[in-house]
Structure 1
Amino acid sequence: MSKTIIGLLREGKIPVDKRTPLTPSQAKAINAAYPDVEVIAQRSEIRCFTDEEYVEAGIRLVDSVEEADILLGVKEVPIPDLIEGKTYFFFSHTIKKQPYNRDLLREILKKNIRMVDYETLTEPSGKRIIAFGRWAGIVGAYNGIWTYGKRYNLFDMRRANECFDLEDLKTEFSKVILPPIKIALTGGGRVTKGAMEVLTGMGIRKVTPHQFCNCYFDFPVYTQLNVRNYNAREDGEAFSRNEFYKSPQNYVGDFLQFTSEADILIAAAFWAPEAPVLFTKEDMTGPDFKTSVIADITCDIEGSIPSTKQPSTIADPVYDYNPSDDEVDPPFTDEGNISVMAVDNLPCELPRDASSSFGQRLADQILPLLLGEDPETVIERATIASEGKLCGRYTYLQDYVDGE
């Protein structure tokens, strides 16, 4: 009986992404656990684990992955590289009808590709199974503190992408010497928990939202804000989390109580376009708007945070937002500006750790379902396209594919 071949793709999207869906040791373990499966790796000069490390683990290197049945990547596969009739796993960034990936989904359908999106791999409850969220939170919070230090010439520490891994990154924490500032952190999921690891590791004390707004501290503090802390029902009735996510248009925002206190905002909460924005550009010019550094991990362009007008890059992580003119300026050019860190591929700054964590979940919780039985139809529910058609819950994307 012929083997099922799983191919690890060489990432082709620009800017480059060094992550991989499976580390050498994970690929080796899969080959050992499944006699009828072989994991191969496409040669890559940018992957965070070298070709030599895969060879040492007994993984066969190839220039072309044509022979593979299942192809695993991380970011979107360049359209010219798509191979007809294959099964692909990667983050397609199509389920929100992102205009820049319409042609990608069209080509997937044209080439009869079975497309499974990591973002849509969920438990029956809807909870995502695998993600890079923790690493986005870790790097995003670190970058936010790094930005504040640069803006006010307080301390000097290495960039996250200059560190070998998380343990190396932690050696920089002791360099952080902050005045008694206040940091607002939004969200409650993996991203937020990753950010809290960094803030706590730097010795920044956590306080309640009430204390944050009403107490003075002579040391740096942060507070974690959930949606109930800054959204209220328009009719004055009690906040309901379930209803908020179901009908966010029934709510109004009240985030200015925190921007009047926060020196740094670390935005890590999911935001839907129907929900209230955190604040407006007019709010940002008000006399009570104190926040001078915004680390927008969500990187929703002109979404809940109007100063996030464009993504920043690992090479150039910060830009200034001029609230008076609603314009982007070079970083740290004017004290009246707000410094924005909005890198849209934060986990890439710690690619070895991020890949290892992601790959372990993929190997332990997804591949057994793909290669064996899947009683809760996890793979089926995450399949966006197959045999030239949109599948199941993703038929809503048809007008997006049609260009309407």
Structure 2
Amino acid sequence: MNIGIIREGKNPPDRRVPFCPDQLKSLNERLGDQLTFVIESSPHRSYSDQEYVEAGIEVSDDISDSDVFFGVKEVPVSELIADKTYFFFSHTIKKQRYNKALLRAILDKNIRLIDYEVLKDDNGNRVVAFGRWAGIVGAYNAFWTYGKKTALYDIKRASECKDLTELKSELKNVQLPPIKIVVTGSGRVGNGVKEILEALNIPEVETHEFLHLYFEEPIFTVLKSADYNRRKADGGYDREEFYSSPEKYESHFLKFAEAGEMLIAAAYWDPEAPRLFKIEDINSPDFSLSVIADVTCDIGGSIPTTLRASNILDPVYDVERERGIEIPAFGSQTSISVMAIDNLPCELPRESSRAFGQMLEQWVIPALMEENSPILERATVARDGDLTLEFMYLKDFVDSEG
């Protein structure tokens, strides 16, 4: 099997890689008679072409003969090669409108799409993800944004830090007033967020304390779904019902928006689930959030102020409270500053790539050697010009106009 590592085609280019040079060298030594790897030349990767060459991996401008392609972010439609197998984050499975053309092209070109986001073990747990790194960088960026907004301190951009050690060292420059910070999510991403909050020595408090007590130091609370979702019928909550029938629930998040000044959103969101708040809610004098770091970056998703994704070069935009429209970053003292970078781990590309490659080595490479691997079958969104059974719910979305 010939495996090609594609050049990232999105603009600005993503600097992450699916595999580091030494990881491919190790795989070659173990599986060289079964798998061969070739790297599509790129000037943008955090690992240079030369580093792959020195590891004994072929680098070429043309890798079209490969059977299977590994990338990171969405592949531009013009670069898709028909009748091949692709691994990448497609951002289509939640019916993301901005990638409808991509999914149509995948079907038209008879491509087998295996989406990293749905690679899961037998218990339904994701096995390949950048989540921890998204949480780390997203939380760091929340405090970079707060420093810029308030002019209380100045720290480097995450992308200017050599590694995680330097990033955490930079946090010693953060000087916070006694603000209250809301965190949603307790999975990989949420744990990455907590890693930064703990590096800042910010205490965690229970939700009741967060809402009702005064503190003389900055504090944070981590919300579970039960803390801000309730059944429409009677105000109750049942975890199993919420995840199977989220449309039966409504949000009661506003009390946290009234108590907190910063929101770091790191919770997975089901498109059928309620949004945390409505865009018109931000115009209330009681709505106190002034910095929102949407690590999940679901456009039109759980956070209505996430009007669009931002990027590493231009990480923040503001949302005017009165009209709910975008204005320049830090353009008004009363507006909400939104950080919604959609490729956060790219700010620490070498370390996040290494961790990602280890997961691919553990889960995906063995599955590729297995006929009809259950892990790969479950994560196959499209094949033979059609959606697979599990993803047939996307058919109306693909066929719809607009």
TM-score, normalised by the number of residues in structure 1: 0.95
Supply the AA of the counterpart residue of 2:391: Y
Q: Are 1:8 and 2:5 matched, yes or no?
A: yes
Match for 2:80 among 79, 82, 92? Answer: 82
Q: Say if 1:264 and 1:293, in contact at 8 Å, map to a contact too.
A: yes
Q: Are 1:184 and 2:182 matched, yes or no?
A: yes
The corresponding residue for 2:351 is 353
Aligned partners of 1:140 and 1:337: how far apart in 2? 20
Q: How does 1:331-370 map to 2 (within 5 A)?
A: 331-370=329-368
Q: How much has 1:287 moved relative to structure 2?
A: 2.3
The corresponding residue for 2:204 is 206
Q: Say if 1:271 and 1:304, in contact at 8 Å, map to a contact too.
A: yes
The answer for unaligned runs of 5 or more in structure 1 is none
Q: How does 1:236-385 map to 2 (within 5 A)?
A: 236=234, 238-372=236-370, 377-385=374-382
Q: How much has 1:109 moved relative to structure 2?
A: 2.4
Q: Are 1:29 and 2:26 matched, yes or no?
A: yes
Q: Say if 1:347 and 1:354, in contact at 8 Å, map to a contact too.
A: yes
Q: Say if 1:30 and 1:39, in contact at 8 Å, map to a contact too.
A: no
Q: How much has 1:112 moved relative to structure 2?
A: 2.2
Q: How much has 1:373 moved relative to structure 2?
A: 5.2
Q: Say if 1:381 and 1:392, in contact at 8 Å, map to a contact too.
A: no
Per-residue displacement from partner, 1:53-110 (whole Å, max 9, x unpaired)? 1111111111111221111011111222222222111111222222332332232223
Range 135-144 or range 268-277, more displaced = 268-277
Runs of 4+ in 1 over 4 A off after TM superposition: none
Instruction: Describe the shift of the 1:374–1:390 C-alpha distance in structure 2 as closer, same or farther (beyond 3 A).
Output: closer
Give the SS at the match of 2:59: strand
Aligned partners of 2:393 and 2:313: how far apart in 1? 37
Aligned partners of 2:132 and 2:229: how far apart in 1? 25
* Root mean square deviation, CA, Å: 1.6
Aligned partners of 1:72 and 1:374: how far apart in 2? 19
Q: How much has 1:281 moved relative to structure 2?
A: 2.5
Instruction: Describe the shift of the 1:205–1:326 C-alpha distance in structure 2 as closer, same or farther (beyond 3 A).
Output: same
The corresponding residue for 2:392 is 395
Instruction: Describe the shift of the 1:231–1:398 C-alpha distance in structure 2 as closer, same or farther (beyond 3 A).
Output: closer
Range 100-109 or range 53-62, more displaced = 100-109
Aligned partners of 1:255 and 1:392: how far apart in 2? 36
Aligned partners of 1:403 and 1:268: how far apart in 2? 30
Match for 2:48 among 47, 50, 57? Answer: 50
The answer for unaligned runs of 5 or more in structure 2 is none
Q: Say if 1:269 and 1:298, in contact at 8 Å, map to a contact too.
A: yes
Q: How much has 1:292 moved relative to structure 2?
A: 1.0
Per-residue displacement from partner, 1:272-291 (whole Å, max 9, x unpaired)? 23222211233222222111
Aligned partners of 1:391 and 1:328: how far apart in 2? 38
Q: Say if 1:7 and 1:65, in contact at 8 Å, map to a contact too.
A: yes
Per-residue displacement from partner, 1:171-195 (whole Å, max 9, x unpaired)? 1011111111110000111111100
Per-residue displacement from partner, 1:369-394 (whole Å, max 9, x unpaired)? 1113566x111111122222322312
Percent of pairs with identical residues: 51
Q: Say if 1:277 and 1:303, in contact at 8 Å, map to a contact too.
A: yes
Aligned partners of 2:159 and 2:69: how far apart in 1? 27
Per-residue displacement from partner, 1:164-217 (whole Å, max 9, x unpaired)? 221221110111111111100001111111000001111111111111112111
Q: Say if 2:280 and 2:324, in contact at 8 Å, map to a contact too.
A: no
The corresponding residue for 1:145 is 143
Q: How much has 1:13 moved relative to structure 2?
A: 1.3
Give the SS at the match of 2:355: helix
Q: Say if 1:141 and 1:198, in contact at 8 Å, map to a contact too.
A: yes
Q: Say if 1:296 and 1:308, in contact at 8 Å, map to a contact too.
A: yes
Q: How does 1:49-68 map to 2 (within 5 A)?
A: 49-68=47-66
Q: How does 1:127-146 map to 2 (within 5 A)?
A: 127-146=125-144
Q: Say if 1:19 and 1:74, in contact at 8 Å, map to a contact too.
A: yes
Per-residue displacement from partner, 1:281-332 (whole Å, max 9, x unpaired)? 3322222211111111122223332222122221111111111122111111
Give the SS at the match of 1:385: strand
Aligned partners of 1:320 and 1:204: how far apart in 2? 26
Aligned partners of 1:389 and 1:274: how far apart in 2? 24
Supply the AA of the counterpart residue of 1:136: A
The corresponding residue for 1:119 is 117
Give the SS at the match of 2:319: strand
Q: Say if 1:138 and 1:198, in contact at 8 Å, map to a contact too.
A: yes
Instruction: Describe the shift of the 1:272–1:353 C-alpha distance in structure 2 as closer, same or farther (beyond 3 A).
Output: same
Range 161-170 or range 359-368, more displaced = 161-170
Aligned partners of 1:228 and 1:381: how far apart in 2? 29
Aligned partners of 2:115 and 2:228: how far apart in 1? 32
Instruction: Describe the shift of the 1:288–1:401 C-alpha distance in structure 2 as closer, same or farther (beyond 3 A).
Output: closer
Q: How much has 1:14 moved relative to structure 2?
A: 1.5
Instruction: Describe the shift of the 1:338–1:221 C-alpha distance in structure 2 as closer, same or farther (beyond 3 A).
Output: same
Q: How much has 1:266 moved relative to structure 2?
A: 0.7
Q: How much has 1:238 moved relative to structure 2?
A: 3.7
Give the SS at the match of 1:206: coil
Range 273-282 or range 379-388, more displaced = 273-282
Give the SS at the match of 1:343: coil
Instruction: Describe the shift of the 1:283–1:97 C-alpha distance in structure 2 as closer, same or farther (beyond 3 A).
Output: closer
Supply the AA of the counterpart residue of 2:6: L
